[in-house]
């Protein structure tokens, strides 16, 4: 199949590479000529596992890049719209890029083309694309409109595309259904997984769901809103856990054992971020309001998410008393582990608030530092080359992104580098026991072992917690003398 993918961002570039991997002829179009030039030279503008390998394998063969959208439209049989739909100030999705593509499409159509909305859009957008095309003179016999929402998570988008739990086609005619089913057939009949050059993954034929166009558009928003709801729910439960002395990790495990709940997306932290959940929850609430329903549940999901950052800052203040002048090591700036994306990152927001309170921040992130630098003025925060450099001489270390690589850190070495042995875990990456065995005070979200209030004499606290390792008791002495130094 000849496929044009409009937009070379997180969704478009991954989709173009994966369509080529499935054996189709693909042109990936973007109006950012610099980005197209980078891609043609073999550079990869986003941090995605397996994407460099796929681009290397298909660039110049089944996959080419272009800035000429009209040429692409006149050549292709199916055109996927994968342009951005950022939030407008009032929370509604800004569809101006989508409208721009619809206009170009109307002017460039040759022969029947299936036009597929893949970006996350409010229900009714496909209808709007159709109207725009007709307004600009397209012949309704020359095109069909369909919805094929993506369910790609950043960092694992290639494997999410090639090993989807479902392939969702929102169609209004047989032509669209046939062509889109044919595009995904290697995943639907499992033949892709038989290939010896297939990307490895949890082999299972994908499930095909065919719905109306509007239902498909809505499924995407409702899915993301529900996932965000699940995260805000466990964040609220973590607050109750702290109040009653329960451990949210045990509670989440107990809840997740019920197949109707499931174990995933039950990790509390400083809140969800990224370029999807925040905007999709806002957009979905706007869609509801546009049809007269005030989706208050989503308002509360956002309120809980916002409050998590303040709750975490309160823990930092409780552990360190005043923040002014304190040096804080921050591990993690991306909105989640496995990505370099800092868009709507809770970690960035927490750092901004620490700076407002006069703290000095030294940050390290395995992939997101370059993108984070653009968000701060020169010298506003320091960047370290690794976690150990960040912790050197710091009054505490704060973990703000769930990078799995942080679990390999030598915590004893970290303790030796810190001025005060305090680790505040904003994403529950570590277990309390492991951190305490290295002689560090642990403060997580929704669990025992929160940083001891500064006024509690550390020696009394260490007697209360007899399970603290010998190293912890030794730290008690160091900590007490550090406290005395602080109080002078």
Enumerate the active-site residues: 276
Please, what is the minimum distance in Å from the beta carbon of residue 260 to ligand UDX? 17
**Residues 241-280: x where in contact with ligand UDX by CB under 6 A, - otherwise, as a string:** ------------------------xxx-x--xxx-xx---
CA quadruple 232, 234, 237, 243: dihedral sign: negative
> 482 is written with which tokens?
């550090």
- Supply the minimum distance, in Å, between the C-beta of residue 323 and ligand UDX: 24
Among 71-79, 132-140, 151-159, 447-455, the segment contacting ligand UDX (CB under 6 A): 151-159
Query: Which residue's entry shows tokens 């890029």?
Result: 97
The residues in 436-475 that bind ligand UDX, with binding defined as CB under 6 A, are none
Q: Are strands 441-443 and 360-364 parallel, antiparallel or unpaired?
A: unpaired
Instruction: Compare residues 62 and 269 and give the one whose CB is closer to ligand UDX.
Output: 269
Our CB check for ligand UDX shows the closer of 24 and 343 to be 343
- Sheet with 396-399, strands from edge to edge, namely 382-383, 360-364, 327-331, 396-399, 422-425, 441-443
Task: Give the span between the Cα atoms of 221 and 286, in whole angstroms.
Answer: 11
Is-contact 172 180, C-beta < 8 A? no
CA distance 121 to 147: 9
Q: For ligand UDX, which residue of 70, 103, 153, 317 counts as binding (CB under 6 A)?
A: 153
Angle, helices 213-244/296-320, rounded to nearest 10 degrees: 40
Q: Residues touching ligand UDX: how many (CB under 6 A)?
A: 20
Under the criterion CB under 6 A, does residue 332 sit at the interface with ligand UDX? no
The yes or no reply on residue 154 touching ligand UDX (CB under 6 A) is: yes
CA dist 332 → 117, 256, 270, 371, 458 (Å): 34, 27, 12, 12, 29
- Residues 437, 463 contacting (CB under 8 angstroms): no
Q: How far is the CB of 219 from ligand UDX (least distance, A)?
A: 11
Q: Give the integer Cα–Cα distance in Å for 305 and 178.
A: 42
Identify which of 226, 250, 228, 229 has the alpha carbon closest to the alpha carbon of residue 238.
250
Long-range CB contact pairs, 257-266, < 8 A, 24+: 265/227, 265/230, 265/231, 265/234, 266/230, 266/234
Q: Which is nearer to ligand UDX, 415 or 427 (CB)?
A: 427
Shortest reach from residue 476's CB to ligand UDX, in Å: 33
Q: Token pair for residue 11?
A: 């969704």
Nearest-approach distance from CB 471 to ligand UDX, in angstroms = 31
Q: Which is nearer to ligand UDX, 219 or 323 (CB)?
A: 219
CB nearer to ligand UDX: pick between 269 and 472:
269
Q: Which residues contact 343 (CB under 8 A, 6 or more apart)?
A: 273, 274, 275, 335
CB of 133 to ligand UDX, least distance (A): 26
Assess 335 for contact with ligand UDX (CB under 6 A): yes
Token match 């550079």: residue?
Answer: 43
Give min distance, CB of 154 to ligand UDX, in A.
Answer: 3
Among 4, 145, 146, 231, binds ligand UDX (CB under 6 A): 231
Residue nearest to ligand UDX (CB): 276
**Cα distance between residue 216 and residue 119, in whole Å:** 12
CB of 255 to ligand UDX, least distance (A): 12
Site membership for ligand UDX, residue 428 (CB under 6 A): no
CA atoms within 13 A on the CB side of 221: 26
Stretch 378-417: interaction string toward ligand UDX, x if CB under 6 A: ------------------------x---------------
User: Does residue 331 belong to the site contacting ligand UDX (CB under 6 A)?
Assistant: no
Query: For ligand UDX, which is the closer residue by CB, 152 or 348?
Result: 152
Residue nearer to ligand UDX on the CB measure, 144 or 224: 224
227 binds ligand UDX (CB under 6 A): yes
**Shortest reach from residue 285's CB to ligand UDX, in Å:** 16
Q: Is 193 in the site for ligand UDX (CB under 6 A)?
A: no
Choices 144-152, 319-327, 355-363, 471-479 (CB under 6 A): range interacting with ligand UDX: 144-152
Q: Which is nearer to ligand UDX, 224 or 432 (CB)?
A: 224
Nearer to ligand UDX, 152 or 447 (CB): 152
For residue 191, the minimal CB distance to ligand UDX (Å) is 25
Q: Which residues lie near ligand UDX (CB under 6 A)?
A: 150-154, 224, 227, 231, 265-267, 269, 272-274, 276-277, 335-336, 402
């Amino acid at each position: 199949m000849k496929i044009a993918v409009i937009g070379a961002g997180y969704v478009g570039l991954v989709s173009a590479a994966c369509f080529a991997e499935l054996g189709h002829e693909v042109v990936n179009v973007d109006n950012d000529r610099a980005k197209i030039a980078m891609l043609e030279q073999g550079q990869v503008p986003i941090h995605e596992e397996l994407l460099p390998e796929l681009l290397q394998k298909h660039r110049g063969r089944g996959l080419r890049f272009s800035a000429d959208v009209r040429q692409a439209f006149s050549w292709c049989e199916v055109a996927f719209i994968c342009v951005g739909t950022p939030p407008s100030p009032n929370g509604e999705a800004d569809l101006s890029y989508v409208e721009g593509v619809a206009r170009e499409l109307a002017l460039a159509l040759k022969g029947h083309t299936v036009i597929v909305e893949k970006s996350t859009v409010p229900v009714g957008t496909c209808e709007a694309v159709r109207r725009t095309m007709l307004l600009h003179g397209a012949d309704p016999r020359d095109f069909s409109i369909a919805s094929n929402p993506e369910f790609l998570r950043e960092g694992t988008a290639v494997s999410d595309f090639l090993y989807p739990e479902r392939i969702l086609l929102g169609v209004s005619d047989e032509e669209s259904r046939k062509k889109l089913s044919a595009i995904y057939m290697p995943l639907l009949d499992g033949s892709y997984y038989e290939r010896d050059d297939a990307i490895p993954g949890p082999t299972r034929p994908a499930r095909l769901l065919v719905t109306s166009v509007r239902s498909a558009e809505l499924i995407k928003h409702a899915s993301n809103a529900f996932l965000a709801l699940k995260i805000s729910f466990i964040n609220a439960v973590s607050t109750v856990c702290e109040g009653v002395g329960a451990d949210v990790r045990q509670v989440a495990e107990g809840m997740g054992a019920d197949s109707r709940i499931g174990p995933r997306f039950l990790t509390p932290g400083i809140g969800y971020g990224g370029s999807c959940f925040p905007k999709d929850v806002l957009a979905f609430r706007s869609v509801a309001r546009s049809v007269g329903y005030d989706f208050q549940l989503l308002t509360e999901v956002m309120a809980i998410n916002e409050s998590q950052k303040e709750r975490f800052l309160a823990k930092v203040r409780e552990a360190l008393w005043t923040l002014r002048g304190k040096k804080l090591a921050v591990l993690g700036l991306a909105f989640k582990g496995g990505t370099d994306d800092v868009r709507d990152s809770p970690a960035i927001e927490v750092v901004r608030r620490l700076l407002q309170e006069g703290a000095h921040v030294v940050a390290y992130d395995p992939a997101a530092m370059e993108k984070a630098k653009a968000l701060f003025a020169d010298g506003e925060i320091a960047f370290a080359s690794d976690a150990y450099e960040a912790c050197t001489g710091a009054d505490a270390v704060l973990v703000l992104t769930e990078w799995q690589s942080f679990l390999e850190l030598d915590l004893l070495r970290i303790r030796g580098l810190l001025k005060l042995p305090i680790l505040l875990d904003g994403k529950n990456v570590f277990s309390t026991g492991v951190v305490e065995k290295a002689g560090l005070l642990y403060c997580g979200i929704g669990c025992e072992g929160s940083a001891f209030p500064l006024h509690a004499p550390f020696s009394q606290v260490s007697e209360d917690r007899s399970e603290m390792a010998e190293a912890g008791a030794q730290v008690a002495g160091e900590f007490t003398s550090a406290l005395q130094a602080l109080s002078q």
